[in-house]
Amino acid sequence: MFALPALVVYIAFLIYPALSSLFFSLTNWDGLSATYKFVGLENYVKLPSDPVVVEAVRNNLIWTVVTIAVPTVIGLALAIALNGKVHGKPILRLIFYTPAVLPLVSIASIWGWLYNPQYGAINSFLRLIGLDGLAQPWLGQDSTALWAVMVPAIWLRTGFPMLLYLAALQGIPNELYEAATVDGATRWQQFWHVTMPSLRPAHYIVLALSLIDSFKVFDMIYAMTYGGPGTSTQVMGTWMYFNVFQYYQAGYGTAIAVVITLVAIAVGIPYVRSQTREAS
Amino acid sequence: MTGSSFTRRGFLGLTSAAVAGVGLSACTGGGTSTGGGQTAAASKNLRLFTYEGDETIGLLKAQIKKFDAENGTTTTVDSLPGSGAAVYPDKLRTELLGGKGPDVWRIWGGQIGSPFAKAKQALDLAPYYSKFGWDSKINTAAIGGMTFDGVKSGVPFVSLGIGAWYNKSLFAKAGVSALPTTYAELEAVNDKLVAVGVTPCGLGGKYGWDIMRLFEYLLEHTAGPELHDKLLTGDESWDRAEVVEAFTLFKKWQDKKWLPQGALGLDPADIEPAYVQGKTAYTITGPWTEAAAILSAKKSPSAFGNFELPTDQTPARHSGFVEGYMINAKTGNADKAAALIDFIVQPATQKALQVSASTVKGAEPDPKALPLSAEWADKYGSNPFYTIQDQAFPKKQADQYFSVQSDLLQGSVAPDAAAKKMQEIVSAWAKS
């Protein structure tokens, strides 16, 4: 009985809307009318032939790989650096983590200005140092737009792995390093054979949470490029939004949401299993 | 062990369900209501939803306060200024589906207002047109812009024409002594501006609708009024020489640097006012720019001017659209909401609101308050207009069209391929 209030909230705000969404993904509801028709799996069947879905999946994959790999490597490097004898460690930690707590829309606005092709700081700097040829309309061409949005994403996502790794590094017993030193291990060998294996649980958490986060990407792209130019920066999250909220194709858009969710679950299950295994 | 196994699986299942719930509930708009709930109970409270900017919301609230004082109502005004038709309808839709929609809302005509009428979220206003005599008070063509499938679902109060708004000092700097009256003269003006280091036309491609104003003008120039109208309704094929020529000119504007560098990635909110800041020579916009960009920047309107973009066609037309108010079909206060709209469309209220292009007879812009808007209305207000293209097409088709624009300007499709692609988009829509 003690769990009943929580269960009611859980059912009302998670299970019921989730099942409703699943249901609407099987209809042709426009998202506004009082009527709709049951269309079975038609919305799902249409997905592979939608060229924007194909483009969005490709962008999601690129986004996932880059915004996991780069922040993880940088975060680990920063954590190792901050784990040593560094002056002003708390301030540096704060500086590196601050982007993670800034509102995403603010970050998008700031970087939107930095990327402004005429007056933005990036192109202005490139022109200042004589690299005019490298000045680009970063957000205004297919070839650079997605990559340009990923840069601030990397910037704001580096703080999270840094903190996790830093906590994990501080938990590695010093005796392991002392023993390795006695055995004649170089610093590089200590890193690969002591540090990295000891960080395995942290790697797992960083990877799993970052993966789930990457599949949900929406806000940075929506705010910085609105999915454009054309559809070149559309990802599944934004394409779902456009269909549900802008094109009055709620049934189809909800089918995209279901697919995103299934992928997130597939990715999340190993993480959840590992956590429950440890707990038991 | 059984217990342990059950707990683990249970936890796994519940956690997965939670992930699923969070993911899926993100797109339900907070519930499964498809009708937005029951008709609300009558009360003295009204809510009006609009997208007025900071420069005009105060005027609106002052007039609403006056209405409340006269009618014993309490009206809340909510505004969502900013990215225009790209975001506002979503917010409105979500509110309506959540059963907490406003009693009255402002909306654009054409294909932006249409879904609300067709989904019967907006009230059929025919009885109120009769009651308040709106047919005789409001411009007939504008009423047509808010009539959907023969149902008058909105009351237009503004009919806006799009033209060139320019910075006089930059035109003078380039040695432009007379405004262009032909397309060739406009191109010559652009060349002169570029020669003195000034970007001629400030338009941005983010969202698509801003830079679209250039293409639709070019299409009017190459296709002419009759064909342009038929293209917009899908009655003529886009795969034709006139469209190819318009796309060719569109690319030319970018290649000759008559548009800002990287125009496709620019936000209209940043680049449109650039002509006021002296960063571009002109933009393609409507009379709202006088209050929103010139007056709000504390600049004198005398430093700026406007002209209808020359099409070399007869009749001379410009792009235009209407905006008006709709009433929630579920409101319990339909009579009061209609009375509020009637109050807003009174000439005195329109003048107090400084509406720069009112549809209401007797509410022409005040030359003292908005001299440039008054000048536009005087010179071009009676000229016919073609439907602005993001209202001519549903949002999905408009976005596909914006993609074609984008691909063309980036050189990934040629003008003839762009025309063919447009035909595919429009014919698929027309068939549906």
Asked if residue B425 and residue B350 are part of one domain, the reply reads: no
Instruction: Please name every residue paired with B122 in a beta bridge, in sequence order, or none if there are none.
Output: B328
Asked if residue B292 and residue B230 are part of one domain, the reply reads: yes
Asked if residue B381 and residue B326 are part of one domain, the reply reads: yes
Who wins on pLDDT, B97 or B152?
B152
Using a CB cutoff of 8 Å and minimum separation of 24, what contacts does B255-259 make?
B256/B190, B256/B191, B256/B194, B257/B194, B257/B199, B258/B190, B258/B193, B258/B194, B258/B199, B258/B200, B258/B201, B259/B199, B259/B200, B259/B201, B259/B203, B259/B211, B259/B214
Average pLDDT, chain B: 89
Inform me whether the pLDDT recorded for A47 exceeds 70: yes
Q: Do A17 and B207 touch (CB under 8 A)?
A: no
Asked if residue B202 and residue B283 are part of one domain, the reply reads: yes
Inform me whether the pLDDT recorded for A204 exceeds 90: no
Give a yes or no: residue B296 inside a domain: yes
Asked if residue B424 and residue B281 are part of one domain, the reply reads: yes
Question: DSSP 3-state assignment of A193?
Answer: helix
Per-residue three-class SS string for chain B: CHHHHHHHHHHHHHHHHHHHHHHHHCCCCCCCCCCCCCCCCCCCEEEEEECCCHHHHHHHHHHHHHHHHHHCCEEEEEECCCCHHHCHHHHHHHHHHCCCCCCEEEEECHHHHHHHHHCCCECCCHHHHHHHCHHHHECHHHHHCCEECCEECCEEEEEEEEEEEEEHHHHHHCCCCCCCCCHHHHHHHHHHHHHCCCEEECCCCCCCHHHHHHHHHHHHHHHHHHHHHHHHHCCCCCCCHHHHHHHHHHHHHHHCCCCCCCHHHCCHHHHCCHHHHCCEEEEEECCHHHHHHHHCCCCCHHHEEEECCCCCCCCCCEEEEEEEEEEECCCCCHHHHHHHHHHHCCHHHHHHCCCCCECECCCCCCCCCCHHHHHHHHHHCCCCEEECHHHHCCHHHHHHHHHHHHHHHCCCCCHHHHHHHHHHHHHHHHHC
Q: Do B264 and A140 touch (CB under 8 A)?
A: yes
Mean pLDDT of B365-388: 88
Asked if residue B199 and residue B265 are part of one domain, the reply reads: yes
Q: Do A21 and B24 touch (CB under 8 A)?
A: yes
Which residue matches tokens 């397309």?
Answer: B183
- From chain A, the residues in CB contact with B399 under 8 A are 231, 242, 246-247
Asked if residue B371 and residue B361 are part of one domain, the reply reads: yes
Give a yes or no: residue B76 inside a domain: yes
Q: How many domains does chain B have?
A: 2
Task: Out of A33, A137, A240, name the one closest to residue B265 (CB).
Answer: A137
**Per-residue pLDDT tens over the stretch B20-49:** 554 555 444 433 444 445 677 778 899 999
The Cα B422–Cα B413 span in angstroms is: 12
Q: Do B89 and A249 touch (CB under 8 A)?
A: no
Asked if residue B395 and residue B297 are part of one domain, the reply reads: yes
Q: Residue B122: which domain range?
A: 45-160+320-385
Comparing CA positions, the residue from B41, B95, B51 lying closest to residue B77 is B51
β-bridge pairing B304-307 and B280-285: unpaired
**DSSP secondary-structure letter at A108?**
H
Mean pLDDT of B69-97: 87
Give a yes or no: residue B108 inside a domain: yes
pLDDT for res B92: 93
Inform me whether the pLDDT recorded for A1 exceeds 90: no
The Cα A137–Cα B408 span in angstroms is: 16
pLDDT for res B84: 64
For position B154, which CATH number holds? Answer: 3.40.190.10
Question: DSSP 3-state assignment of A27?
Answer: strand
Mean pLDDT of B255-261: 96
Q: Does A109 touch chain B (CB under 8 A)?
A: no
pLDDT for res B82: 66
Residue in chain A closest to B95 (alpha carbons) equals: A32
Helices A89-101, A51-83: inter-axial angle, 10-degree rounding: 170
**DSSP secondary-structure letter at A131?**
-
**Is the separation of the CB atoms in A93 and A82 below 8 Å?**
yes
Asked if residue B267 and residue B374 are part of one domain, the reply reads: no
Asked if residue B300 and residue B224 are part of one domain, the reply reads: yes
For chain A, the domains span 31-279
Asked if residue B299 and residue B415 are part of one domain, the reply reads: yes
What are the Cα distances from residue A118, in Å, to A139, B195, B266, B355? Answer: 12, 18, 10, 34
**Is the separation of the CB atoms in A265 and B14 below 8 Å?**
no
pLDDT for res A32: 86
Mean pLDDT of B63-74: 96
Give a yes or no: residue B34 inside a domain: no
What is the percent of chain A where pLDDT is above 90?
A: 68
Give a yes or no: residue B40 inside a domain: no
- From chain B, the residues in CB contact with A260 under 8 A are 23
**Is the separation of the CB atoms in B33 and B98 below 8 Å?**
yes
The Cα A122–Cα A127 span in angstroms is: 9
- From chain B, the residues in CB contact with A16 under 8 A are 32
3-state helix, strand, coil in chain A (%, to 5): 75, 0, 25
Inform me whether the pLDDT recorded for B370 exceeds 60: yes
**Per-residue pLDDT tens over the stretch A264-274:** 888 778 777 77
B6 pLDDT band (50/70/90 cuts)?
A: very low
Asked if residue B229 and residue B150 are part of one domain, the reply reads: no
Q: What is the CATH number of domain A31-279?
A: 1.10.3720.10
Comparing CA positions, the residue from A160, A49, A58 lying closest to residue A99 is A160
- Which residues 149-208 of A have a C-beta within 8 angstroms of B? none
Q: What is the ipTM of this complex?
A: 0.80
Q: What are phi and psi of B326, to 5 degrees?
A: -120, 160
